[in-house]
Structure 1
């Protein structure tokens, strides 16, 4: 077991005095009363201090900050409410304050956020895009370092249980969306619900940039897992949360380690971005510097994952390929994707995705053989990477409208079926009376 967490905490504590000096210098050279503030030298010192502070800071969980949305040209207030809660997850509902007289039926969407090191707020743009025309719920996963040992374990099986529990609470007219990592547990949850003839199975599932079959177009992430194997990750990536955190002594895969891996994949891009921010600060380009702050405030905020969840996911998804081989189990029962018959399926991939390669998500169509052809959609978005699959301008303009149309058409079909069934019942009743 690695003691990287203790080393990380020790370094953070040792740097604290230097951070204090740097903060004081930053304030001094940003003070309007200081003549040097307005000189190139003063701006350079202030910019250097801010970059040092940001590079050595521990970033806390960001807020969604979605206080309003626009519906039919009218601004509507939005309130976040927790409607379901377990030790490792809260289900957040974005309640749009619409008068009951103006409410119209709209698709109910459960966004299953990735539990892969970042907070659910990484999907802020995804939520924002769906809010005007959908009832939106999102899984807000809890940082494992904040969950006491007394709350027990949390592994991939528990994740599937959580998804099933949320779908049962929301009801059968729900559309579930899995973004990246949750694609596997979500499709597994749907398969288990269908196998048990659960009436609360969702109306549709949308899988976006997910590792359904990582043998297809393997990326550097996939190849690393295959080459190293699960035991290597157990020896080198698992550590213990240090005291006095609430989750002290819990074994975790720390978020800072995941973040280091992600940044190492594109280190040149991150170095250039920080250098550009430095130049923006020196030149007084506040707008560009603020865009950098907004992005990295989110990107550098990370959470820990329980060791058992991380290792089981690595082994099941990336090493054993248990799902596409038909060997995945949930508890003591098989995850049989051929059991899925009623739930519609949409898959979305990005042409330049370097995390989940092209074809890995689309593989779900080959595995869910009993879903009718008219309830299947696949879309490949050109010119986007992994992040662009669920956020950004192309997501808003090209991907989100397609997903929304898919959900709306299914809701309309279900409403028509209900009307037809009602008409049949009425005709039967009239025949009996006659």
Structure 2
């Protein structure tokens, strides 16, 4: 007997307010591009007319884009079509789906809408963002796509329109795992080099102003710009991770929610997790804090951002909290009992100060590696997620008889056993390959 396929649905459009939200962002960019000098040259009335004409053009362009954009589910594919002159049709196989994220920028929050983003295997960027849908429709479509991606009986039940309506109206029972205190989040970002050295920079600027008794406009502008650049990353992290929450849904998937100006809700099947990374920044160790990240196959994140190829598991927290989370995501892995062995003593020529903090080890479940002097890091790679194993030697390593073993995953990061004895490196690589085959079997 062949497997029954869910019936195909009619092509659907995005929410009617989508052109206005897309147009609003473009209009803001246009207004910002028109300089203050342009306003002085043409006058307020002509400036307003120019902005109005450009805004009308942007809205019309966005409306045409909305009329030509649609999506529907055909079998186990999500198909999206858009474009007027150059028509584009995309088919996304749902078996390649890694995670589905529901985002709500500020304008979307004010209008009750949401944006759905899909992360697929091998994706260099987010596939087919559906902007915008109602929160209810976006949540229902996310559940349906994840169910179809898992090839579960739930997928067949949710294939029809009636089942989708039921999924939309029924509340999802989730098991809360964690909620990060916003106070800890703010303090953690104050304990960064940018925040620590900013008062020194301000004091230096004040001293210069007092000693010189004059200050030019260019000097003021450059100083303000430099200070804003220093503060940008900590402020951005606070805004991104605000009200961070973790939960498990009834299907055992990890549900991550965070954000202030832009809220995000991501559902991650645990079998898509490629590795877990733990980091102990120098200034956090007085509070015994660390942060955890997940590496997810196909997760592209923001271009040029720090979220590329990874996602947050714990922005800031104590070791006991991190230990419980690691055990929940990787059952059987205890963060407190991970044993590692150091490289040979001759590796001190390459790491005169940080040798004692290098190490690697094999546990029954994961490959463990650690490194770092000021900022200490730990990587956990499940054997079943290994894609390849490499033994690499640099020129200095060849002279010292050392080599580094890389355990590559589909998430883009690799576990590293740095500067091991050459014979030990080859034996470790063989062990990793054998354990990977057994874990996948």
- Normalization by structure 2: what TM-score? 0.25
Specify the structure having the higher radius of gyration (Cα).
2
More helix by share: 1
Larger RCO: Structure 1 or Structure 2 (Cα < 8 Å, ≥ 6 residues apart)?
1
